[in-house]
Amino acid sequence: MSGIGDGGLLDQKKNRLGWFRPPGNTRRERKLPSPGMGRLVSAGLPAQLLLLVLLTNASDSSVCLSAPESVTLQENSVGSVTLASSSALNRSAVIHLNVTYSSKLNFSSIISLPDQLLLPAGSTSLTFNVTAHEVGQVTSYLLSNGTNLPSWSVRIRFMVIHSSVLSVLSQVIGWIYFVAWSVSFYPQAWENWRRKSVVGLNFDFLALNLTGFIAYSVFNIGLFWVPYVQEEFLKTNPNGINPVNSNDVFFSIHALLLCAVYVCQAVVYERGDQKVSWMAKLLLLIGWTFAFISLFLAVAKQITWLDYLYYFSYIKLAVTLVKYVPQAYMNYRRKSTEGWSIGNVLLDFTGGVLSILQMIVQSYNNDEWRLIFGDPTKFGLGLFSVLFDIIFITQHYCLYRTPHDYVAVPDQ
């Protein structure tokens, strides 16, 4: 699932960066390359933390400077941004705002930024104002050529939106579909437990779904918790924001655990003559062979670890395209949806519709229709899942609504 949208008149999401070695600490110090000569390299950690950069004062002790990773403003408004240092510098430092990306030809039509900032000697914070004009996005690196600050940088992404109300609405929609998708896994587990049977639940769907969420969890955990991978992401996308949020990690792990519960229920409860088909086994073999070959390529440094994680996301996308087909076909052959929880379908349909609605709201609010037309895979898969939910709803409530008739057998 996608992350929850940014919201509020001034939303400052923070991310913690940087390493330093205090006196007496034996841990190795990480050196960041200079952003000069066109090389702006920054390491990244989860978006809710602070961005940090190493500062060195005249006595060579380490100082940390924090800044917001993302600042969201409504058009034609003024907001303030605060920088803070962990301790005071011995000398004043001049900080320049170097714009590296603008969604429009002239960034000043989007936002007005000061040419330079002064962090006075003895001060531990600095606040400056920015004026938002038109909707758009601007990325700026804070650089200093002074002796107090090395040429390492902090990045701030300014986002000017149409309406803070729409931003809040996007957040609300995001949380609703997050809850709907998370809860959608429980009706099927309850149905299996109530019937003490998994007859009617297709085993191809179980196997493919389990593989899909294993791949999705690996992708999310890697981008959210592995600093080395986050560095690779920022090197590849210097003006981008990590697409994985904490709710994505929770959702994928939670879904994986519930899929494992389904498999355990399939082992314990009555299952009739159901088994995984040879076609599903072939698809799983292809997917996992691809994953293992990619692992060896990553170890041999033929591909980056970021590429390796993205390959897992491709496995998840491929699984999503095919996993519903066996269940829909099984319902058609049996002329029944018994054993396949309609509660799961209704909640998944709710989440899918709201996720598409959020993409539309965000696209309008940010004037970024690439969220839909520039990423047809994400939009198409969401639409694809909703269409299959409609098929299941039609099967359950229209085509096969009459339950099987049972004949009571008298006691002997």
Summarize pLDDT for 10-55 with one digit per residue, the tens: 333 333 333 333 333 333 333 333 333 333 333 333 333 333 344 4
Which residues, other chains included, contact 237 with Cβ-Cβ below 8 Å and sequence gap of 6+? none
404 versus 399: the higher-pLDDT residue is 399
Q: Does 5 reside within a domain? A: no
Place of tokens 């670890």: 305
235 and 91 in a common domain: no
Q: How many CB atoms lie within 10 A of CB 133?
A: 15
Residues 118 and 206 in one domain: no
Q: Domain containing 367: what range?
A: 165-399
In a domain, 144, yes or no: yes
Is residue 113 situated within a structural domain? yes
What's the chain's average pLDDT? 81
Region 111-124 average pLDDT: 90
409 inside domain: no
Nearest to 355 by CA among 163, 175, 161: 175
What gap in Å lies between CA 365 and CA 163, rounded to an integer?
Answer: 7
Last residue of a domain, one of 108, 131, 161: 161
Q: Is residue 191 part of a domain?
A: yes
Per-residue pLDDT, 137: 92
Q: What pLDDT is recorded for position 151?
A: 45
52 and 132 share one domain: yes
Q: Do 157 and 231 sit in the same domain of this protein?
A: no
Residue at 119 is within a domain? yes
Regarding whether 143 and 184 lie in a shared domain, the answer is no
Tokens 């006691």, residue located: 411
Q: How many domains does the chain have?
A: 2
* Residue partners of 139: CB distance under 8 A and separation at least 6: 99, 100, 101, 102, 155, 156, 157, 158, 238, 239
Complete edge-to-edge strand list for the sheet that includes strand 111-112: 51-56, 62-67, 77-85, 125-132, 111-112
Beta strands in 21-132 (DSSP E): 51-56, 62-67, 70-74, 77-85, 93-102, 111-112, 116-119, 125-132
Q: Is 199 helix (H, G, I), strand (E, B) or coil?
A: coil
Among 143, 161, 179, identify where a domain stops: 161
CATH number for 112: 2.60.40.10
- Least confident range from 8-12, 96-100, 171-175, 297-301: namely 8-12
Give the single-character DSSP code of 198.
-
Both 259 and 392 in one domain: the answer is: yes
With 90 as the cut, is the pLDDT of residue 3 above it? no
**What residue spans of 226-277 are helical by DSSP H?**
227-236, 246-268
Which of 132, 161, 190 is the last residue before a domain boundary? 161
Same structural domain for residues 72 and 202?
A: no
Sign of CA dihedral 146, 148, 154, 159: negative
Mean pLDDT highest for which of 141-145, 173-177, 285-289, 367-371? 285-289
Both 258 and 111 in one domain: the answer is: no
Q: Is residue 411 part of a domain?
A: no
407 in any annotated domain: no
CA-closest candidate to residue 2, choices 288, 241, 187, 266: 241
Torsion sign across C-alpha atoms 105, 107, 109, 115: negative
pTM of the model: 0.76
Burial class (CB in 10 A: 0-12, 13-18, 19+), 189: middle
Which region among 55-59, 128-132, 295-299, 399-403 has the lowest average model confidence (pLDDT)? 55-59
Amino acid occupying residue 211: T
Residues 246 and 287 in one domain: yes
Q: What is the mean pLDDT of residues 147-151?
A: 49
Give the model confidence (pLDDT) of 391-400 as tens digits.
999 999 999 9
- One domain for residues 191 and 124: no
Query: Do 34 and 169 fall within a single domain?
Result: no
Same domain, 110 and 211: no
Residue 218 has pLDDT above 90, yes or no: yes
